[in-house]
Amino acid sequence: MKKINLLFAVLFTISTASFAQNGITLEGLTIKSAIMGRDMKYSVYLPFDYKTSNRNYPILYMLHGLGDDDSGWVQFGEIAFYADKAIASGTTSPMVIIMPDGLRSFYVNSADGKIKYQDYFLKELMPAVENIYRIRKSQRFRAIAGLSMGGYGALNYAIKRPDLFCAAAPLSAAVFTDDEIQNLDDNAYADLAANIYGAGLKTKNRINATNQQNSILKMIELAPADSLKKVSWFFDCGDNDFLINGNMAVHAAFKNKGVAHDFKIRSGEHNWHYWRTAMPDVLKFLGDAFHK
């Protein structure tokens, strides 16, 4: 009987220790935005020791895809489960993860000038959350990641502002070649690209000045290689994903610039199962980047 009781005590201790490693996730928090003219939602993951330590943490901005909101990575991506596991095993650093509501903005200032999401992100969201939470406020400890539309946003910000981000991990990024943009049917163009490049444009008219400012491939072409090399890069896209051509073009563009990057093509499609299976590698990559 004593042995059985001892076994139960050990199992209870292990279970309690395991539970104590769980972080805290808060959804639907808000920031009052003058730039957006509304309250903007975000969710946050705090590592298990956040409330018991005095340390400042690295920060990861995690961007959702088209049609989701700030709860996407929490509910469907199960980010807390993967972060808890990676932190407990020592494969990544304890970090604060901010998941903003990106609306359907593609995380840029819209072509018509009505929605200035990029201005909001850089000028209001980042300063606000980095003052609310105990964050190490330097490029060395700040990263950005995202899927699909959020992968586009992560690429866009990290290319434009390598002074802000030490690492970027776009998954199945919504990157299109010029030919793909021209050949999108009108409905697909309206849904996927009109906010970035301008509404109602047909075929070759879509490759305009606004397009060139927000085209990931054009940004890579024009960016100095030394600037791109300030960021650690991780790309992942399924071989059956409709965005695979754009992601392969990004890989080729980085290779042509001599920019080191980790590019993975795995068996999979454009879905949450694929992105969840990427998270162990993503979190390890980010932990390594924070320790450089």
Q: What is the pLDDT of residues 219-253, one digit of tens each?
A: 999 999 999 999 999 999 999 999 999 999 999 99
Domains in the chain, number: 1
Burial class (CB in 10 A: 0-12, 13-18, 19+), 138: exposed
> Measuring CA to CA, which residue among 251, 184, 183, 179 is closest to residue 220?
251
- Domain range holding 279? 28-290
The mean pLDDT of 179-193, rounded to a whole number, is 90
- Percent of the chain topping pLDDT 90: 83
State residue 210's pLDDT score.
84
User: Does the pLDDT of residue 193 top 90, yes or no?
Assistant: no
| Residue 177: partners with Cβ closer than 8 Å, 6 or more residues away | 217, 245, 246, 249
List C-alpha distances in Å: 103 to 110, 131, 188, 218, 290: 12, 23, 18, 25, 29
User: Does the pLDDT of residue 16 top 60, yes or no?
Assistant: no
Q: What CATH number is attached to the domain comprising 220?
A: 3.40.50.1820
Does 37 fall in a domain? yes
Q: What is the DSSP string of 153-202?
A: HHHHHHHH-TTT-SEEEEES-----HHHHHHS-HHHHHHHTHHHH-TT--
Does 9 fall in a domain? no
Does 22 fall in a domain? no
User: Does the pLDDT of residue 129 top 80, yes or no?
Assistant: yes
Does 186 fall in a domain? yes
The mean pLDDT of 24-30, rounded to a whole number, is 97
pTM of the shown model = 0.92
Strands of the sheet containing 167-171, edge to edge, are: 24-33, 38-46, 96-100, 59-63, 142-147, 167-171, 232-238, 262-266
The mean pLDDT of 83-109, rounded to a whole number, is 97
Does 18 fall in a domain? no
Does 12 fall in a domain? no
Does 14 fall in a domain? no
Q: Which phi and psi (to 5°) does residue 84 adopt?
A: -55, -45
Does 58 fall in a domain? yes
| Residue 104: partners with Cβ closer than 8 Å, 6 or more residues away | 66, 67, 149, 195
